[in-house]
Amino acid sequence: MSEDMKSILSDFYHGKKVLITGDTGFKGSWLSIWLHELGAEVMGYSNGLPSDPCNFTLSCLETRIQHITGDVRNFDYLKEIIDRFQPDVVFHLAAQAIVRQSYEIPKETLDTNVMGTVNVLEAVRQCPSVQSMVIVTSDKCYENREHVWGYRENDPMGGDDPYSSSKGAAELIFRSYLKSFFSRNGTIGAVTARAGNVIGGGDWARDRIVSDTVKALAAGKPIEIRSPKAIRPWQHVLEPLSGYLVLGARIARDPKRYSGSWNFGPADSSAMSVGDLVTAIIDAWGSGEWKDVSESNDPNIHEAGWLRLSCDKAHALLPWNAVLSFEENIYMTVKWYKFYYDYPTSNMYQFCAHQIREYMRIAAQRGQEWAQY
């Protein structure tokens, strides 16, 4: 662990055994790098690679952490791995995470996101080593009524599409496990973390706006936008990950106070339309253009026009706040992709670690206790 990575987080995670499901994914790969840099012993469990290229392979993560190829739908194998590893902390990120794809594979989406979560909860319930568990769901777990105000953690669950309903169902199942098992024995701190509209380098997933934008820019093609007027609260991937890490530490030390559900989102100033986001990326890239293809949208596929979270609970109780401006989110994202395309054979691990250190420096300067040492 480098000197400039030391923080209150490193005090907790250094030397801890941490299991991450979905370590090959966008968020999972960044979380694996961050935890490795904090000095944790990381094991990842994931069912293959989500895209080609992907941040997991570009960062050569398999040489730095233990990686197991496995499916969260396979309870017996998942339990065997958890029992063998005896983790202190579990982060569950494995999921079918694309809304539009959930219309193509609804059963697989529900099997993975609902029963996969059940399997993680049950395996952890039976593992005495686990101190804390963070289940990552989504802002789309809420019953979205297109409110202009942010949804709070106690608002109703819902979902008009298979993906959203799977995340709402996972939240309800988590609550039943929390009330029936984890709260009773008081030895495991357990939370769900809800965040959405995450951007950052290393995301090449299909049907995601930054991924599609960067692919088009790199190929010199116009960027096709389905919903240019839809407003989203954009945040860099390191913002919610910092919240997940803070939660993992807090619930291990005080399960009764911190167990439950938590929202993580940016400041209101980062809520921009999809068209504004793509325009900002083009400006930072230095070239490109986009075109509106909303007329070609399938009317049977639901996309929210407005979705915002209230993060008052995290602000007041953790305390945690997003620290990056909209412009800084764009700058860090474009800088990552620019570096990759300029140096396509580079090991991206060190560049990711550099951006994590830079983010922690900014967070410490802006008063975030978790980033200070």
- From first to last of its 373 residues, the chain has per-residue pLDDT tens of 666 667 889 999 999 999 999 999 999 999 999 999 999 999 999 999 999 999 999 999 999 999 999 999 999 999 999 999 999 999 999 999 888 899 999 999 999 999 999 999 999 999 999 999 999 999 999 998 877 788 999 999 998 899 999 999 999 999 999 999 998 777 799 999 999 889 999 999 888 899 999 999 999 999 999 889 888 889 999 999 999 999 999 999 999 999 999 999 998 878 899 999 999 999 999 999 999 998 766 666 656 656 789 999 999 999 999 999 999 999 999 999 999 999 988 999 999 999 999 999 999 999 999 998 7
Ordered alpha helix ranges (H), 178-308 = 183-185, 209-219, 238-253, 255-258, 274-285
Determine the structural domain holding residue 183 and report its residue range: 3-371
- Distances from the Cα of 250 to the Cαs of 9, 64, 255, 259, 320, in angstroms? 10, 26, 8, 9, 12
The contacts of residue 361 (CB under 8 Å, 6+ apart) are 4, 371
In sequence order, the β-bridge partners of residue 309 are: 151
How many angstroms separate the CA atoms of 353 and 33, rounded? 7
Would strands 231-233 and 271-273 be described as parallel, antiparallel, or unpaired? Answer: antiparallel
Number of domains the chain contains: 1
In the numeric block, the tokens 């299909």 are attached to 206
Angle value at C-alpha 66, between 135 and 255, nearest 5 degrees = 30
Ordered alpha helix ranges (H), 61-137 = 75-85, 99-104, 106-110, 116-125
**pTM for this model (two decimals):** 0.95
Q: pLDDT value at position 149?
A: 81
Q: pLDDT value at position 146?
A: 75
Would strands 17-21 and 89-92 be described as parallel, antiparallel, or unpaired? Answer: parallel
- Distances from the Cα of 187 to the Cαs of 53, 171, 182, in angstroms? 40, 21, 7
Q: pLDDT value at position 98?
A: 87
| CA Rg value for the chain | 19
- Domain CATH number, residue 286: 3.40.50.720
Longest dimension (CA), the chain: 57
How many angstroms separate the CA atoms of 362 and 367, rounded? 9
The contacts of residue 353 (CB under 8 Å, 6+ apart) are 5, 33, 37
Q: pLDDT value at position 187?
A: 78
Q: pLDDT value at position 301?
A: 62
Q: pLDDT value at position 144?
A: 85
Q: pLDDT value at position 175?
A: 97
Ordered alpha helix ranges (H), 87-236 = 99-104, 106-110, 116-125, 162-177, 183-185, 209-219
Angle value at C-alpha 220, between 216 and 224, nearest 5 degrees = 40
Cβ atoms of residues 121 and 170 within 8 Å: no
What dihedral angle (degrees, nearest 10) is formed by the CA atoms of 226, 229, 235, 240?
-80
φ, ψ dihedrals at 268, nearest 5° = -55, -30
